[in-house]
Amino acid sequence: MKSVNSQGMKSAGQVLAGQRALITGANSGIGEGIAKSMAAAGATVVINYVRGPEDAARIVDEIKSRGGQALALEADVSREDQVQAMYRQMTDACGGIDILVNNAGMQKDAAFTDMSLADWELVIRVNLTGQFLCAREAARAFTRQGVIPEISSSAGKIICISSVHEAIPWAGHINYAASKGGVMMMMKTMAQELAARKIRVNSIAPGAIKTPINHDAWATPEKEAELLKLIPYGRVGEPDDIGRTAVWLASDQADYVTGATLYVDGGMMLYPGFRTGG
C-alpha cells in the first residue's frame, strides 16, 4: 500500500496516491463527500461511523466499484478507548495513516437560557473532544512514521472540519458555536506545536452545505430562498465542494499551508447584510 506507482510518480488527478486517510463521520453528508473525493484522488480511505453501518458499507462498495480502496470502521469519536481501538484496527489493515479528516459532528440546538448541561456537554464532547482524541492519535502515528518522501513532503496532515460559526456567533446554537470556536484555537495550537515534525494542521470552515445536519434550512424552496440571502454566490453548497477542497489541502500542492482556516462558504463570511448599505 506504500507504493506510489512503478515510476515513483503520482499521476495527474491521483494527488493522494499511496496515502491512507481516516475520515470520521464519513457515512453521511460532508464526510461521505470527502471520502469519495479522496478515494478518487488515489487514497485508501477509512470510513468511520458510529451509527448506520449499512450507509458505511454502501459507501465502501461505491468506492470499490470505481476502482478505489476503502474500508469501514466503527467508533464513537468522543470515546478514548474506541478511538484508540479504531487506530489499532486501521494500522492492522492499512499499515499506518497519512491523513486525518476530523469531520464527525452534531448539533443539539436550544435557546441559551433553555440549554441543558447534558446537551452542552454532548456537543462539546463530540465536536471538540472528539477532534482532540482523533488528532492526538494521528499526531502520535505521524511522529512515529516521519516523512516518507515518495508518499508526501510532510509526515502527516490533519484537517479539522470547523464551520463559519468558528467566527460568526449563532443564537440558539451556543454549544455548537463554542465547539467550533474551540476547534479553531485547537487547530492553530496543534499547527504551531507540530510544524517542526513536518505535520500540517488546517481547518476547512464550510458555510451552508446540503446535508442531513441542516436539512430543515433548505428543505423547501421558501427556506432555501431565505438561506440564500446569507450566501452572496447564490447557491447552497454540496458535499463535493468540501471534498475537492480537502483533497487539495491534504495534497503536496498545499505543502506550505499550515495553521489556516479555509472558508468554503460562497461568501457567507462577507457580511452579506451590508451589500445594500450599512
CB of 136 to ligand NAD, least distance (A): 15
Q: Are 83 and 68 within 8 A, CB to CB? A: no
Does position 30 bind ligand NAD by CB under 6 A? yes
176 included as an active-site residue:
yes
Q: In what order do the strands lie in the sheet with 156-161?
A: 69-74, 44-49, 20-23, 99-102, 156-161, 199-206, 261-264
| Residue among 70, 73, 161, 201 that touches ligand NAD (CB under 6 A) | 161
Q: Give the 3-state secondary structure of residue 3.
A: coil
Does position 4 bind ligand NAD by CB under 6 A? no
Query: Within 13 A of 249's CA, how many CA atoms are on the CB side?
Result: 30
CB of 200 to ligand NAD, least distance (A): 20
CB of 67 to ligand NAD, least distance (A): 24
- CA nearest neighbour of 190 among 160, 214, 218, 162: 160
User: Sign of the C-alpha dihedral, residues 30, 35, 96, 198?
Assistant: negative
The residues near 87 (Cβ < 8 Å, ≥ 6 apart) are 97, 137, 138, 141
Does position 175 bind ligand NAD by CB under 6 A? no
Does position 24 bind ligand NAD by CB under 6 A? yes
Nearest to ligand NAD of 30, 94 (CB atom):
30
Site for ligand NAD in 198-237 (CB under 6 A): 206, 208-209, 211-214
Site for ligand NAD in 36-75 (CB under 6 A): 48, 50-51
Grid cell at residue 101 = 479528516
| Residue among 97, 99, 126, 262 that touches ligand NAD (CB under 6 A) | 126
Nearest to ligand NAD of 25, 96 (CB atom):
25
> Residue 10's CB: how many other CB atoms inside 10 A?
21
- Give the residues lining the site for ligand NAD (CB under 6 A): 24-25, 27-31, 48, 50-51, 76-78, 103-106, 126, 130, 161, 163, 206, 208-209, 211-214
| Residues with catalytic function | 176
